[in-house]
């Protein structure tokens, strides 16, 4: 079951630069997408989300872009800070159910 | 800020034993979930619970698993006869006041180790 994919297991970025995390999905019935951040030994922390009726949602340093035709979404973090270093999970939800389908995560390291 | 709490943080058990994992969702949330993450794998949905009954479950959630909301604040996951492959992090989550909630808020997890 690979309905949500994060093809980059890791990403390193200099402090102050932009971090771009990518996510692809295969199920066209997904209508809501979320990004979670996870530190070791903690649960996923909700960051930002986007409905399929939008193509962009912004919250402070975090912006999520959705390209429905390409079934692709991305999370931009600007400027990146060392405290952003964590594993980032993309998740998707269909209109018919409540369960979230998660990607495998991308480990972001922000270098001071 | 309200948060989901889970106990215990780590549970070690022998294969074949029963375990109960406990969660206190965010108060006034209406939807409750269990997910698990086997080491090195993705977070997987197990079950969702609404209005005192299961609303959805995955194929992982077989007859060995059950959920309960015994007292209006706790939400529990019981595994009747644990197997080695049940070893994982188990996350509880809650959401919503309305049916259109979407954001699920997760607890810190319980690490279950089956020996």
Residue A21's CB: how many other CB atoms inside 10 A? 22
A104: left (phi over 0), alpha (psi -120 to 50) or beta: alpha
Instruction: Note whether B7 and B110 are within 8 A (CB).
Output: yes
Tens digit of pLDDT for each residue in A40-51?
Answer: 888 999 999 999
Q: Is B85 helix (H, G, I), strand (E, B) or coil?
A: helix
Compute the nearest-CA separation of A52 from chain B (Å): 12
pLDDT band for B28, please (50, 70, 90 cuts): confident
Residue B101 has a pLDDT of 58
Residue B13 has a pLDDT of 97
Distances (CA, A) of B51 to B1, B54, B97: 25, 8, 12
Helix (H), strand (E) at residue B81: none
Tens digit of pLDDT for each residue in A3-14?
Answer: 999 999 999 999
Chain A partners within 8 Å of B43 (Cβ): 44, 89, 91, 100, 102
Residue A1 has a pLDDT of 60
Tens digit of pLDDT for each residue in B37-78?
Answer: 998 889 999 999 988 899 999 999 999 999 999 887 899 999
Q: Residue A25 forms beta bridges with which residues?
A: A4
Give me the sign of the Cα torsion angle B94, A42, B57, A101: positive
Compute the nearest-CA separation of B111 from chain A (Å): 9
Closest residue by Cα to residue A104 from A90, A93, A92: A90
Before B8, cis peptide (omega within 30)? yes
Residue A14's CB: how many other CB atoms inside 10 A? 12
d(CA A91, CA B3): 20
DSSP states along B17-63: --EEEEEEPPTT--EEEEEEE-TTS-EEEEEEEETTEEEEE-TT--T
Q: Is residue A62 less than 8 Å (CB to CB) from chain B?
A: no
Q: Is residue A44 less than 8 Å (CB to CB) from chain B?
A: yes
Tens digit of pLDDT for each residue in B69-110?
Answer: 988 789 999 999 999 999 999 999 999 865 445 789 999 999
Tens digit of pLDDT for each residue in A50-90?
Answer: 999 999 999 999 999 999 999 999 999 999 999 999 999 99
Compute the nearest-CA separation of B41 from chain A (Å): 7
């Amino acid at each position: 079951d690979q309905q949500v994919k994060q093809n980059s297991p890791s990403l390193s970025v200099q402090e102050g630069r932009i971090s771009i995390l990518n996510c692809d999905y295969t199920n066209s019935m997904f209508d809501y997408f979320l990004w979670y951040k996870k530190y070791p030994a903690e649960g996923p922390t909700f960051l930002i989300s986007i409905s399929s009726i939008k193509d962009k949602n912004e919250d402070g340093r975090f912006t999520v872009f959705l390209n429905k035709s390409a079934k692709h979404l991305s999370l931009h973090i600007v400027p990146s800070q060392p405290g952003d270093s964590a594993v980032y999970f993309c998740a998707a939800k269909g209109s018919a159910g409540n369960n979230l389908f998660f990607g495998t995560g991308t480990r972001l390291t922000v270098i001071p | 800020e309200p948060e989901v709490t889970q106990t215990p943080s780590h549970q070690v058990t022998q294969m074949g034993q029963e375990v109960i994992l406990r969660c206190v969702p965010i108060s006034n949330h209406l939807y409750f979930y269990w997910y698990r993450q086997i080491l090195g794998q993705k977070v997987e949905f197990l079950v969702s619970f609404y209005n005192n009954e299961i609303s959805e479950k995955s194929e992982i959630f077989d007859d060995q698993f059950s959920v309960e909301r015994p007292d209006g604040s706790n939400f529990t996951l019981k595994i009747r006869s644990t197997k080695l492959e049940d070893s994982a992090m188990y996350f509880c989550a809650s959401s919503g006041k309305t049916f259109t909630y979407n954001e699920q808020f997760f607890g810190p997890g319980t690490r279950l180790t089956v020996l």
